Amino acid sequence: MTKQEKVNFVINTLDKLYPVIPIPLDHKDPYTLLIAVLMSAQSTDVRVNKITPLLFERADNPYDMIKLSVEEIREIIKPVGLSPMKSKGIHGLSQILIDKHNGEVPQTYEALEALPAVGHKTAAVVLSQAFGIPAFPVDTHIHRLMYRWNLTNGKNVVQTEKDAKRIFPEALWNDLHLQIIWYGREYSPARGWNLDKDIITKTIGRKTVLNDYFKKKK
């Protein structure tokens, strides 16, 4: 297969598997999505989705959030991990949204990444999922799969994002990044990987990845 044929195969396969694409983190607006994505760092979406209702029952907007103390926020979100950093970030960014953005979540990388505890990936998720702005957030699943599929050299997530944006049509970025995440979880996980179920890697996978897989199976 040529590289373009591989890209087309990925797009077509994912469209068949995920014609309707659910968003992993429960939210109702850009602010609650921003908070949920921040909380998901080094945690799981399932765990975050269990905790966000407890937090949002107390405060689902920046004006109510700053009425809570950092310690109160921390007590609520402890189960998701890294609660000292995340609670400070949630309280701090809520105050900045009020002071600088009229309580609204901004719609640029620059403004989002200027907020406490908000990195490039979090900003990209908010832009794509809350505002429909083309972005290609790269998480561990996308980084792993893009390497397995020989569509990036796998050096780092920054390079993986550049490669994804270069080879996939911009109009598909917002859907594709979610489709790849779901595919990685269901068919191509880091642990318990079964190549027979992973049709994309089995078809276009990097030779070294496939060889390593079969060595481990022996």
The residue annotated as part of the active site, out of 121, 175, 196, 218, is 121
Q: Are 73 and 155 in the same domain?
A: no
Q: Print burial letters for 11-39: b (CB count within 10 Å at least 16), e (below 16).
A: bebbeeebeebeebbebeebbbbbbbbbb
Residues 125 and 39 in one domain: yes
Choice among 139, 198, 202, 216 that is catalytic: 139
Q: Could you give the CA distance from residue 205 to residue 210 in angstroms, rounded to a whole number?
A: 7
Q: Give yes or no for residue 64 having a pLDDT over 90.
A: yes
Question: How many domains are contained in the chain?
Answer: 2
pLDDT of residue 140: 87
Residue percentage of the chain with pLDDT more than 70: 100
pLDDT at 218 over 80: no
- Give mean pLDDT, residues 178-203: 96
Residue 59: what residue type?
A
CATH number at residue 210: 1.10.1670.10
> How far apart, in whole angstroms, are the C-alpha atoms of residue 162 and residue 166?
6
Q: What is the DSSP string of 131-189?
A: H--------HHHHHHHHHTTSS--S-HHHHHHHHHHHS-GGGHHHHHHHHHHHHHHTS-
Q: Which amino acid is at 162?
A: K
What was the pLDDT predicted at 130? 97
On average, the pLDDT of the chain sits at: 96
25 lies in some domain: no
Give pLDDT tens digits for 69-98.
999 999 999 999 999 999 999 999 999 999
Would residue 78 show up in a list of annotated catalytic residues for this protein? no
* Chain centroid offset of residue 96 CA: 23
Work out the burial of residue 134: count CB atoms within 10 Å of its CB; fewer than 13 is exposed, 13-18 middle, 19 or more buried: middle
- Regarding whether 202 and 152 lie in a shared domain, the answer is yes
Are residues 112 and 44 part of one domain?
A: yes
CA 148 to chain centre: 18
Whether residues 104 and 167 share a domain: the answer is no
Would you state the pLDDT for residue 215? 87
212 belongs to the catalytic site: no
Domain carrying residue 74: 30-131
Which of 131, 156, 191 delimits the end of a domain? Answer: 131
Contact call for residues 152 and 160 (beta carbons, < 8 A): yes
- 123 shares a domain with 35: yes
Task: Read off the CATH number of the domain in which 127 is found.
Answer: 1.10.340.30
- Give per-residue pLDDT as tens, 130-179: 999 999 999 888 999 999 999 999 789 999 999 999 999 999 999 999 99
